[in-house]
Structure formats: C-alpha cells, structure tokens
Structure 1
Amino acid sequence: MSRYLPSLLERNSPFNVIGTGLLIVASTYGLSRYTYGLFVPAIRDDFNLDQAKVGAIGSASYLGYLLATLVSPILVRRFSPRLPIILGGMTATLGMLLVALAGNPLWLALGVTLAGCSPGLAYPPLSDAIKQLCRADKRSRYYAIINSGTSFGVMVSGPLALIAGSRWQLAWLCFAFIALTATLWNLLIMPGSTRGTAHHTSSLEEHSDRLPACQEPMLMLLRRKLKDKLVRRLLLGALLFGLVTSVYWTFSVELIAGNNRLSETSSVIFWMIVGIAGVAGGLAGDLVTRFGLARILKWATLAIATSIASLTVASEGMLMLTISAVVFGATFILITALYGIWSVYCFPEAPSLGFGLTFFLISAGQLVSPSLAGVGADLWKMTGVFQVTAIVCLGILLLLPTQDVRSI
C-alpha cells in the first residue's frame, strides 16, 4: 500500500482527478440541482404550494444555473479552472444550507436558486481541468466517469431522505456538508492556472492550440464557431434535451405518487433507482470511441423518450416504474456526457467555453420547462404533459452530428 501512496498524492493521479470531479459533480448536480424533485411532495405540503409555484421554484433553480454558466467560462479564461469550481462548491453548500433552514417559501426559493447556480459554475471548468491534468488518451474516459457523479449524488439523496423522514430538511443539512467536503478537496487538487499546468505528456501541438484561444476574443470565437453546422446542431440539440428532461426530474415523483398512490418509501426507492442506473452513463467515453457519438446519441434518445412515455402508463406495481427509472437514469447521464464530449470536439481551442455554451442551452430548456409543465398540469393532467414531452424528445433525432465524433 505504501508504494502506491506517492502516486495517490499527486495532483494528476487518477484517484484525485476522478475523485474530486465525481464529488463536485455529485454535490452540485446530483444534490444541489436535481434532488429538489425528490422532495417536491413534502415541500408542497409543508409550504402549502400549488403545482405552478412548485414549478416556478424549480425554474428558479435552472435560472440560477443559466446565469452561472455564462459567468464560469469568463472566470476560467481570466483566472483559472479552480476559481469557478470552488465558487460552485461554495454556492452549493450555502444554497442547500438555506433550504435546510428555510421557514417560508421565500427563503426556500432563494436556497433552491442559489444551489442551482453551483453546477453552472463548477461543471464547465472541469473540461479545462481534465485537459490540463490528464493525458489525451484518458480524457474521454475520465470525463465520462466524472460526469456520472450526478448519479452518485442522486443515489445518496435517497437513503438520506428515508432516514430523515418527515424532517426532510435534515437531509439537506447532510447535502450541504457533502458539498463543503467536495469544495475543500477540489481546492487542493484543481489547477490554479490555465497555462503551464498541462500534463507532462501533452504534445507540443496541444500547447500551441491553446494559445490562440486565450488570445482570441470570446465574441469573435463564438461568431466564428456559430457558422459551423456541426456546432449549430450541437447547440439546438442541447436546448431541446434540456427542455424535455427537466419535466422528468421535477415532476416524476409527483406523477407516480399521485397516479399510483405509492408510499413515500416507494417513491424514494424509485428516485434511488434513477441514480443507480445513471452510473452506466460513465461508459459514454468508451462507447463513443467504439461506435461513434451519432449512433450512441440516436439510440439513447429513443430510449429516454420511451422512458418518459412509459411513466404515464405505469400500473400500480413497480415493474414499469423501475424500467422507466433505469432507462431514464442511464440515458440521461449518457446523453449529458455525449453532449460534453461533442462540445469539446467542437471547441478544442476553448473547452470550457464550448462546455459552458452547451450546458447553458441545456439549462435554458430546463428553465422554461418546469413552469410550463406546472401550468399545464393545473389546466389538464400531468400524464398529458409527460406524453407530449416524450414526443418532443424525438426531435433530438433531427439534430444528430453529421461527422463521426469518437473522442474529445
């Protein structure tokens, strides 16, 4: 064991790169952002909220993410990947602490919104950090594994929700502690400079590619990139993906609890299954290398649309619900990794900018969707909202990449 200790202590060791990335993604995405949907029934009852208000708070979380995603690439280019990652961890900690202590809907909404900012700050810089800390042949695999951290966060939230029971805010105190731990670890490991810290095996060509991106003004770079058909397909597909998936994250537990009269424990188990299945998304890097991004994205889109639709026809038993949870969890994490790999492929000169823009548009769709779904559920039924969402999801098939993307 002692002979492996020096390598574990190295900043760019697999343990530190993957470990810090997984934990910050689990804290900011899995806990700060997506766990809100698990607690919607308890939040609605405790604060006496209707569907529209619940959806509005969910949208506020996505608004926070949207704004933070704009800021994060600027901080990376001007300072370092470490700064926005640490800021993301801090906002996750503070936001979830506010939710845990909230005594009225206003403080609840403020906490949810602040927590929602955290992945927008912390996630885009990870592409730069991975590029600096890892060899080129390891980047796609490491990124896909780190991206699956969302699933680990969702998995952790389930047991803590069961343990907390009716005192659900205690679970959010635990979430805040996890986020604080992730922040401190990332403070020690993440690179503090965008130059000069690349892995010692990186090629000279990669170094020369990075310099023009740092010198070229961001608006000029964006204007040039938007002329590329592949980039436009990436961004439109990301927007549509965000639009359809946030309905599931925000209202799936509400739908199955209402339609199937499931117990609170069964609803939490459903949520945990979504998280556990998402770990499979960590295979995205290897799948892209072997089969190509377009083919994987096509089948993943068909699968996630089916999972959304199947939730509306689920019976009293758990079989159909379990299938939906497994398919959605696995394909959601898989598709987010695919869009991340695709964005770095399109923006090799400025990975965090491509990341930030792609996930900004995913969040833009997620911002609009919960409020529309909440209003639609008040006017009609949530079942109909999910059915329409599944149909709209198929539009992603019209926006697949036209080139064979197989690596970052």
Structure 2
Amino acid sequence: MYFPVAFKRNSAFNVVGAGLLIVASTFGLSRYTYGLFVPAIRHDFNLDQATVGAIGSASYLGYLVATLASPLLVRRFSPRLPIIVGGMTATLGMLLVGLAGNPLWLALGVTLAGCSPGLAYPPLSDAIKQLCHADKQSRYYAIINSGTSFGVMVSGPLALFAGPRWQLAWLCFAFIALMATLWNVLIMPGERRETANDDADSVILSAYQEPILALLRRKLKNASVRRLLLGALLFGLVTSVYWTFSVELIAGENRLSATDRVIFWMVVGIAGVAGGLAGELVTRFGLVKVLKWATLAIATSMAILTIASDGLLMITLSAVVFGATFILITALYGIWSVSCFPEAPSTGFGLTFFLISAGQLISPTLAGVGAELWQMTGVFQVTAVCCLGIILLLPTQDVWRM
C-alpha cells in the first residue's frame, strides 16, 4: 500500500494510537463490557444467573476459537489481515447486541463480539516487532495493552448516557470499533518483507516455515514455557469471575445504586491505565518480582469485594487494584510470551492468550452455577484463594524485555 511521505506509518502516534484503539474496541468494549450490563440484560431478557454466565462463556468460546485462527492467518498472510477482520467482527457483534430483540440474537452478538480480540490482539506482537525498534517494543506494547482500560473507561459514560436504553450504548461501541478498524487498515504491516531490520530476521522467517505443531513440541520441552502456559490458564480462570460478576455481586447485595455501579466500572477502567507501565517496571525490577506482587494485589482485590459490606471506599479500592493489576498482568504475560517465542511472536502470544481464554471460557459458567448453589460472595472468596496459585508458576529465569 502506498503512503504519502507526510504519513509516517511507524510513528509513535500511529503505532500506539491505532493499536491502543483496536485493543480498546475489541477487548475493552466487545469483550469485557458485557459484565457492566448483566443486571440490565437479566431484567430485560428475564434471564437467570446460570444463563447469563453461559452467554459470558460463549463470548470466551468465540475468543478461544479466534485465538487459534489468528496466528495461522499471520503465518499465511500478514498481521494486518486478522487485525482488520477482528475490528470488523467487533463492529458487527456489537451492532447485533445493540439491535437484539431476544436472547438468541443477544447471545449471537456477544459471541461474535467476543471473537474480535482473539483475532486482533495476537498479531499486534508481530506488528510491533516489524514497525518499532527493539528498545521501544516493550514500552509501546504495554501502552497498547492498556487500551482495554480505555475501552472499559469509555463504556461507563456511554452507559450513563444511554440509561435504560442500554442497547444504544452498544451501537456507540460499534461505531468506535469501526473507526479503529479504518485506522488500522492504514497502519498495520501487510507484507512479510516489511519485517524487521536486525540479524534475527532469518531466524524469524525460518520459524514461519516450521510447522506450528513442531514448533510447539520443541517449545514445550522448556520449563519456563510450561510455567507460562499453566499460569496463563489459571489467570484466565480467576479473573473472568470478576469481569463477569463483580457488578452483579454489588448489585445483588444492594450496596451501590445503578449509577454508582457504572462509576465502579469506570474506576476499574481508569485504574487499568496504570498497566501501561508494565514495560518500564519489567525493565527496572524484572518480570518475576512484578508478577509476584501483582498477583498478590489482584487476589486481594477479589477478597476485598466480598467483605466490603456497605463501604464505598473498600469497593472503590477493589476496583482500583483489580483494574490496575489485571492490565499489568496481561502485559506481563504478553512480554513473557514474546521472550519465550522470539522467533514466532504471534504464535507464543496467541497460545498464551488462548489459554487465558480457555480459563475464561470455563469460569463464568462454573461461577454462575456456584452462585446458584451457594452465594456469589463464596465464589469470589474461593477465586481469590485460587489466584495465589499463579505465584507457584513464575518464570524459571527472569525476563527484562520482550
């Protein structure tokens, strides 16, 4: 594709801006915003908690399948193709949710929207490798990864603006996703020959010729890779409970008004911007130390929500800590995956986030059933304890950059 001289595709503004906006649209809006609307969805469509959890799991199932397909598309074509398809999928899925008149169309839209980050997110690691110098890659990636927070942050004011007409907010989300897609059409690399500019190019290109199953068999012999993948699975299991049911928990116990619940959601998003510091923290302290303390913090945020009683301060503290540490830990797993798969970044990236999604696929349904048998408070307490297992799966050798 030809670009005017004045249009610098690999400028910091374009790389970070386009990447951040597509992450905000696919992760922050298409995937995680569902939890914000669970009370309204239950009311308007007359659904029980188990059904709401099943729809949430369907979203993660869509992401799971898409995450498998995305690295294959990168290897066969280019990073641009799955990123653009992901943006289009986000637009269509959220449009369906905004227009849904029954639970079937709602579930279809949520599932389709859930596919979008699985398509668009893994290729960003390849795109960053191709467009940016090595010394900027970790920093740019961490900032782009915080796009999830910006999406969650934007969803709150739009939900307040829409009020009872909550589907109007989803139509606005679809428009944002369309704008993100168009920007990425112009920015993302579409030809393999555009790849990097250092001595590792031949290794990277040979990795694309190696069958993906052979690459995975070779990598799984490495203890750090196994820890990466098991930790990613557990991280997905525990965090999706918060994303899907945190608003439901505080709504069910009448601890916050409807407006306060939206503000709670916005606080989660605003706090997540701090996750953009992941690259700087890894460079300064190493991934092992940062991941350990972030895991302790996110487990604490889940526990706090179960004992907050009527305390707005404690609920806000939970939102701040979870939002910041969730985005931070996803960035840490992204950096760790690229360091484990330097010859095939999108493959390692895709596999890591595939396993995060596999955990997120199972967890909402289990949590919904658990809430029917016990209470949502008990589900969150068990989840907080399980979260600590991530500390047992830290890297065998420290990581200081992508």
Q: Tell me if both proteins adopt one fold, taking TM over 0.5 as the criterion.
A: yes
Counterpart of 1:159?
157
Output the CA distance in 2 between the equivalents of 1:308 and 1:22: 27
Counterpart of 1:285?
279
Alpha-carbon contact 2:255-2:309 (below 8 Å) kept: no
Query: TM-score, normalising length from structure 1?
Result: 0.97
Counterpart of 1:197?
194
Output the CA distance in 2 between the equivalents of 1:216 and 1:222: 10
Write the mapping of 1:21-40 to structure 2, written as runs, cut at 5 A: 21-40=19-38
Alpha-carbon contact 1:8-1:16 (below 8 Å) kept: no
Question: How far did residue 7 of structure 1 move?
Answer: 8.4
Output the CA distance in 2 between the equivalents of 1:126 and 1:172: 25
Output the CA distance in 1 between the equivalents of 2:290 and 2:381: 23
Count of matched residue pairs: 399
Write the mapping of 1:72-87 to structure 2, written as runs, cut at 5 A: 72-87=70-85
Write the mapping of 1:40-59 to structure 2, written as runs, cut at 5 A: 40-59=38-57
Tell me which of 198, 203, 212 is aligned to 2:206: 212
- What do residues 97-137 of structure 1 show as CA deviations (whole Å, max 9, x unaligned)? 00000000000000000000000000000000000000000
Counterpart of 1:10?
8
Counterpart of 1:352?
346
Alpha-carbon contact 2:272-2:324 (below 8 Å) kept: yes
- Find out whether 1:381 has 2:378 as its counterpart: no
Output the CA distance in 2 between the equivalents of 1:57 and 1:365: 15
Tell me which of 251, 256, 259 is aligned to 1:262: 256
Alpha-carbon contact 1:7-1:13 (below 8 Å) kept: no
Output the CA distance in 2 between the equivalents of 1:317 and 1:329: 19
Partner of 2:245, secondary structure, is: helix
1:8–1:53 CA distance, 2 compared to 1 (3 A)? farther
Counterpart of 1:126?
124
Question: How far did residue 196 of structure 1 move?
Answer: 1.9
Partner of 2:253, secondary structure, is: helix
Tell me which of 219, 225, 240 is aligned to 1:231: 225
CA RMSD of aligned residues (A): 0.9
Tell me which of 363, 372, 381 is aligned to 2:366: 372
Identity of aligned residues (%): 83
Alpha-carbon contact 1:8-1:15 (below 8 Å) kept: no
Question: How far did residue 210 of structure 1 move?
Answer: 1.0
Query: TM-score, normalising length from structure 2?
Result: 0.98
- What do residues 19-40 of structure 1 show as CA deviations (whole Å, max 9, x unaligned)? 0000000000000000000000
Unmatched 5+ residue regions in structure 2?
none
Q: Which amino acid aligns with 2:312?
A: M
Of the structure 1 ranges 215-224 and 152-161, higher mean CA displacement relative to structure 2 is found in 215-224
Unmatched 5+ residue regions in structure 1?
1-5
Counterpart of 2:315?
321
Counterpart of 1:404?
398
1:406–1:380 CA distance, 2 compared to 1 (3 A)? same
Output the CA distance in 1 between the equivalents of 2:195 and 2:206: 16
Alpha-carbon contact 1:234-1:342 (below 8 Å) kept: yes
Alpha-carbon contact 1:69-1:121 (below 8 Å) kept: yes
Counterpart of 2:329?
335
Q: Which amino acid aligns with 1:212?
A: S
Question: How far did residue 289 of structure 1 move?
Answer: 0.5
Counterpart of 1:135?
133
Question: How far did residue 405 of structure 1 move?
Answer: 0.3
Counterpart of 1:3?
none
Tell me which of 381, 385, 396 is aligned to 1:391: 385
Output the CA distance in 2 between the equivalents of 1:394 and 1:86: 37
Question: How far did residue 209 of structure 1 move?
Answer: 1.8
Counterpart of 2:176?
178
Output the CA distance in 2 between the equivalents of 1:404 and 1:103: 51
Output the CA distance in 2 between the equivalents of 1:49 and 1:392: 28
Output the CA distance in 1 between the equivalents of 2:371 and 2:56: 15
Alpha-carbon contact 1:58-1:370 (below 8 Å) kept: yes
Question: How far did residue 212 of structure 1 move?
Answer: 1.5
- What do residues 249-305 of structure 1 show as CA deviations (whole Å, max 9, x unaligned)? 000000011124311100000000000000000000010011000000000000000
Q: Which amino acid aligns with 2:148?
A: T
Output the CA distance in 2 between the equivalents of 1:56 and 1:121: 22
Output the CA distance in 2 between the equivalents of 1:98 and 1:325: 29
Output the CA distance in 1 between the equivalents of 2:399 and 2:6: 32
